[in-house]
Chain A
């Protein structure tokens, strides 16, 4: 399985630059996700890797092989499309067999491969059906099978789950993960769904406006988002963003409206010890703020309570800000009640107000 190296590529559509001097390395056998809002260039990137589009400049390597100018059939990639893109005039079996048939494989091999893949994906009963006659989930698996059958060097998936309903999506997600564990193919997966990205990936790249903002394991990206954009994009419910001031002194304190929070980070650099207060954005994940019965001190007013089954989220007005926080299931609170907030100071994320960069 090759390592995929994308080196300094640029792509413009008309006058609009989509990718500019873009570089990224995807390791051998890795499940790598491109995560970002629509229009961030992730689909363009996967098309360029597949060879469905020409790059304006830069190079793509599969190991030492330069593939930038090769046509898709010479790159040994397979792709699963969001729309599945099954051939409507062919049966499931013919759809699965198509990549092998185009490749002029012997008939016997095609038949045994179709049998193998359909067994792997539980499609054996559907082989004679046309795509229009099977369900969305089944179509999805046929699309996967058609990509699998050729045993490609690189696997590309362009939002393969976004047309499925919620339950099926979670189930298929698990199947994809299982498949990757078995086959160990280098996989590039495109999605705008952070849950998919976090649960599937070995590593992921968070993209925005044609740039990679952060690359890392799901854990790293969740624990230490490198930029405000990443922080906003990862985590559900979304991270609370509160403008504040980093006060000099020991211990460091963040001044948030009427309250101060001590910062227990030993990693804050010396420069933040500068005498002047510094404008920052304080990021607090809702799950890191605990709602407690008020005794005194930090007061926040309950705006709304949202039960999601396992968890109870509470919308609060805290000073001049609205925040979301987590309440213990057995806590009895009502709207407009005043509550206290318990904040773990190790879980603070600080970002520079101007650049949006994380303050370590």
Chain B
């Protein structure tokens, strides 16, 4: 048994290290985004002597950053919806109905999610160009959904498996078709699972870079991560604007995680403990 003071010191110390590790870069971005141009590349001052929102103004007034925001939001939301709908429709039979080769199917789904994105980006590009979807939202929605589906299917399948078998049987005897049992009983009861999957898919799509870079060409469909990378001009790198954009892109992530952190943990551990 460790003595009391060691114990009481160890935990705060670890927490501090972890928090510093993950929060300091963000703090750095925030302060950078508020610094006037003159102070951007100098240290000290650590904090801006006269905080300015100039970089944010430039983003929206001169860079049409709002278009990227809209693109990102639309792509992420559509991806989330598509992944949840398709994922739920796949998870229900996988969890409930008697289907030959269920285990193998889940295994293949898992294996598919192991493919590095870079391997598929070439073929996907060819497909998307052939479909005439290049530089549209749909190019990203489709590719993001296909990459988010394995995780979604796994989370939702685990959730639906946890529901007692008798609930499904009761619904069937009460007069439900399998589809009605799915809609009336399973969907409402799997809300936590949907929430967890939704957040993870949204965050994935919101921050995804490789596909977004490859499949977009103009402002019409460019998402924020790509937009930020394309800020640097020929003669200068606009650190202030990039920092401001990073801050903006981080805010929804913060809000979502703060609101739903319980669901995220629940979703990731579904199937681990019966509860």
Contacts and interface: CB of A to CB of B under 8 A. Distances in A.
Given A88-B189, A89-B189, A102-B184, A81 B176 contact: no
Interface in B24-81: none
Given A81-B169, A88-B189, A99 B164 contact: no
Contacts, number: 59
A187 to B, nearest CB: 14
A72 B172 contact: yes
The dominant DSSP class at the B interface is helix
A85 B164 contact: yes
Contact of B173 (A52, A86, A88): A52
B189 A73 contact: no
Nearest to B177: A73
A77 interface: yes
A266 interface: no
Contacts of A87: 167, 170-171, 185, 189
A218 B164 CA distance: 34
A44 interface: no
B188 interface: yes
Nearest to A152: B173
Interface in B143-182: 164, 166-167, 169-177, 180
B189 A83 contact: no
Interface size range of chain B in the complex: 10 to 19
Contacts of B189: 87-89
Given A83-B164, A89-B189, A102 B174 contact: yes
A102 B175 contact: yes
Interface string A41-85: 000000100111000000000000000000111000111011111
Contacts of B176: 73, 102
Interface string B174-209: 111100100011001100000000000000000000
B170 A103 contact: no
A321 to B, nearest CB: 45
B167 A52 contact: no
A83 B36 CA distance: 67
Interface string A77-121: 111011111111100000000110011000000000000000000
B151 to A, nearest CB: 25
A52 B169 contact: yes
Contacts of A185: none
Contact of A52 (B172, B180, B185): B172
A77 B180 CA distance: 18
A78 B180 contact: no
Which one of A77, A84, A85, A102 has the highest number of Cβ atoms from chain B below 10 Å of its Cβ?
A85
Contacts of B177: 71, 73
A78 B173 contact: yes
A146 interface: yes
Given A102-B180, A102-B184, A85 B166 contact: yes
Contact of B169 (A73, A79, A103, A146): A79
Nearest to A156: B173
Given A87-B185, A88-B189, A89-B188, A98 B169 contact: no
Interface of B: 164, 166-167, 169-177, 180, 184-185, 188-189
26 contacts: A47-B169, A50-B173, A52-B172, A52-B173, A71-B177, A72-B175, A73-B175, A73-B176, A78-B174, A81-B166, A81-B170, A83-B164, A83-B166, A85-B167, A85-B169, A85-B170, A87-B171, A88-B189, A89-B188, A99-B174, A99-B175, A102-B174, A102-B175, A102-B184, A146-B170, A146-B174
